[in-house]
Structure 1
Amino acid sequence: MNLRPHRREPTDINLTPLIDVVFLLLIFFMVSTTFKDDARLRIQLPQANGEEVAAEEPMVIRLVIDAAGHYYVDGQALVDPEPKTLAQAFRGALGERKSLPVLIQADARTPHQAVMTAMDVASDLGLNRIAFAATRPNEQRP
């Protein structure tokens, strides 16, 4: 009979799951906590009684093409739909500036060739920022 006491091995406590849970709780509380903005400076700005400055309208060349293919540059009708006439109108709208964006508002029934001609003329003059205006279906007028 073996009456010697059994040797007990020291038991180690595995702390890895505990550390994982603590970090998860820390992350949870950091994410769910709302912080006050105490760090911001609280100042009262002085009031001004000066004149209001009107914001300038963004400079753009507005080209409207109707269903018949007639061009209107910034509200002015062109005498004919020739590319030369359109180029002169673009140059007049540019003035001293080198480049402006061109906004093309074409009727849904406008011939594609009229739009392509306008794009070609604008591109030849170095007006490469071309945008197209459209309306949403519920905004169309009868």
Structure 2
Amino acid sequence: MKLSKKRVRHTKGMDITPMIDIVFLLLIFFITVSQVSETNREKLELPELKGAQDQKKTSLVVNINKAGEIIVAGNQLQLADVAFLVGKELETNGGDPGLVTVVVRIDHNATCQVPNALVKQLAGQGISKVRLAVQVPN
């Protein structure tokens, strides 16, 4: 007759599966956000300016290419559509135009007609913070 007892080990371990899931979700989130922020920037040849500052947080990025087409977030829009987008930004900021900042990126080969009309439209909506994007020379 065998009188040995089986020893059962009761150790409490930490389950790290939820933590790994959260890390992967955060990784996917940051990769997606970085790619979305790059879609707002069309490939344009910007004018160069020494001593320019890096771009700060903006509400809306408007691109104007060489042909004078207005492109926002990869979509070609008319001036009235941009006014509608700015109106939506104003609504989300409580109607305060001081909180809305628009960055206008203009190809250096473009004419001034479309940017001037855009700035007039923005001024008519009360937007005073309009920044013109430039490229810092190396």
Is the 2:65–2:110 contact (alpha carbons within 8 Å) kept by the matching residues of 1? Answer: yes
Normalized against structure 1, the TM-score is what? 0.49
String of CA shifts for 1:47-96, please: whole Å, max 9, x gaps: xxxxx9x9xx9342111111111112344321x3xx32331232234442
1:36-115 alignment, distance < 5 Å: 58-78=57-77, 80=78, 83-97=79-93, 98=95, 99=97, 100-115=100-115
Residues in 2 aligned to 1:91 and 1:74: alpha-carbon distance in whole angstroms:
16
SS of the equivalent of 2:85 reads: helix
* Counterpart amino acid of residue 115 in structure 1: P
**Which consecutive unaligned segments of at least 5 residues does structure 2 have?**
1-25, 31-36, 38-56
Inter-partner Cα distance in structure 1 for 2:81 and 2:59: 19
Check conservation: 1:63, 1:105, Cα contact below 8 A. Answer: yes
Q: In structure 1, list runs of 5 or more residues that go unmatched.
A: 1-51
**Quick one: which amino acid aligns to residue 106 of structure 1?**
I
Q: Which has the higher helix share?
A: 2
Could you tell me how far apart the structure 2 residues matched to 1:59 and 1:104 are? Answer: 10
1: CA distance, partners of 2:63 / 2:110: 10
CA-based RMSD of the aligned residues comes to 3.0
Of structures 1 and 2, the one scoring higher in RCO (CA 8 A, sep 6+) is 2
**In structure 2, C-alpha distance between the alignment counterparts of 1:119 and 1:64, rounded to whole Å:** 13
Contact 2:58 2:103 in 1 (8 A): no
CA–CA distance in structure 2, aligned partners of residues 74 and 94 of structure 1: 18
Residues 9-57 of structure 1: CA deviation (Å, up to 9, x unaligned):
xxxxxxxxxxxxxxxxxxxxxxxxxxxxxxxxxxxxxxxxxxx9x9xx9
Larger radius of gyration: 1
Distance 2:89 2:135 in 1: 25
TM-score by length of 2: 0.50
Identity level (%): 19
Give the total of aligned pairs.
Answer: 86
CA distance in 2, matches of 1:129, 1:75: 22
